Amino acid sequence: MSVGRDDALTVEQLAAKAGLPTSTIRMYQTRGLLHPPRREGRTARYDSSHVERLGLVNRLQQRGFSLPAIAELIAARDLGARVGDVLGLTGKGGPDDWVPVGFRELRALVSVRDLRPQLFRRASRMGLIRWERGKPFVRRWAMDSGTAMTEMAMPPREILDAFERLRAQTDQIAADFVDVFERVVWPRLADQAGSDDQLDRVRALLVELTETAQGVVAGALRDSIRDSAETFARKHNLLPEDRPPAWAGHTVPVLAERLEGAAAHADEPADADIEAFLAAVDAAPDGDPEETP
């Protein structure tokens, strides 16, 4: 195999190619920012991977990341960590922890007749199981959810099918939130490139984004489940007919108030109501109209 020009660089050639002094190259190596070169006798030889690494360090510096933060990112990445792990998006001591699957837990999740190699392979491909030292580990939330669904007598294949459909939807939701982050938040971070704590700032913002997205998705999901429950009940004739019952006109005051409030919330607001509310907002000194009694 022939050696290309970028695969046999001296430290002087690498420094010239990167536009850096040789002392900076050696300092980067000492701090773990640049991986060691290969040795030909007493001569160090660098290659295109070192050129690419120096380009990465330069880009991160321009975006406001300090050298210790860059070293942290690179070291974690070299050990196989994902970006979410580096940025603290997985959490510790919570539902995202990986926990071992013992025989007792396995029997609670899957019946003996359903224990097949293809089931484990599929769960592994979907990221629900990872293997360490020949034993399966799962996220704590997956263990708890899987156990709950198994207790409902849902077959493992149905559970994996449901998760696969759900993951496709959550991937799209996550992409939407990250798109907002990239378009709205990231440009502001780039403008603050002079700061030396950019990694901490990005980490804090992404953790906040994750928690916000979880709250939004959980709230929207609760509303969707309530609507689906209504549809399910009507489909199976579990609800009375839509006409009001005879006792509706003689309800106790508290129940009548609740029923009237529920009915009022069910309809879309009239344009006049919206315009009146916005006018009140504009007129209020603090921008918050007083609540009507």
| pLDDT for position 46 | 93
| pLDDT for position 23 | 93
CA distance 55 to 262: 60
Q: What is the pLDDT of residues 110-161, one digit of tens each?
A: 765 666 778 888 888 888 888 888 888 888 888 888 888 888 888 888 888 9
Question: Would you say residue 89 has pLDDT above 80?
Answer: no
More confident residue, 268 or 100: 100
Distances 173 to 7, 122, 178 between C-alpha atoms, Å = 43, 23, 9
Question: Would you say residue 287 has pLDDT above 60?
Answer: no
Angle at 184 between CA 179 and CA 187, to 5 degrees: 110
CA distance 70 to 60: 7
Structure tokens at 24: 């900076």
Question: Would you say residue 255 has pLDDT above 70?
Answer: no
Cβ-based neighbours of 137, under 8 Å, separated by 6 or more: 98, 99, 100, 101, 129, 130, 131
| pLDDT for position 256 | 58
| pLDDT for position 88 | 60
Cβ-based neighbours of 183, under 8 Å, separated by 6 or more: none
* Mean pLDDT of all residues belonging to the chain: 79
Task: State mean pLDDT over 81-101.
Answer: 69
For residue 49, report the phi and psi dihedrals to the nearest 5 degrees.
Answer: -65, -30
Name the pLDDT band for 2 (thresholds 50, 70, 90). very low
Single out the residue of 79, 14, 22 nearest to residue 47, CA to CA.
14
Asked whether 60 and 196 are in contact (CB, 8 A), the reply is no
Asked whether 88 and 211 are in contact (CB, 8 A), the reply is no
Question: Would you say residue 258 has pLDDT above 50?
Answer: yes
CA distance 126 to 167: 9
CA distance 184 to 20: 33
Angle at 253 between CA 250 and CA 259, to 5 degrees: 80
CA distance 223 to 265: 14
| pLDDT for position 233 | 85
pTM above 0.85, yes or no: no
Q: What is the pLDDT of residues 177-208, one digit of tens each?
A: 889 888 988 888 777 766 556 778 888 888 88
Asked whether 149 and 159 are in contact (CB, 8 A), the reply is yes
Q: What is the pLDDT of residues 12-26, one digit of tens each?
A: 999 999 999 999 999
Task: Give the 3-state secondary structure of residue 46.
Answer: strand
Task: State mean pLDDT over 102-111.
Answer: 73
Task: State mean pLDDT over 170-177.
Answer: 91
Q: What is the pLDDT of residues 27-80, one digit of tens each?
A: 999 988 999 998 888 888 999 999 999 998 988 888 778 888 888 888 887 777
Single out the residue of 203, 216, 245 nearest to residue 88, CA to CA.
203
Name the pLDDT band for 293 (thresholds 50, 70, 90). very low
Please tell me what DSSP assigns to residue 89.
-
Question: Would you say residue 265 has pLDDT above 80?
Answer: no
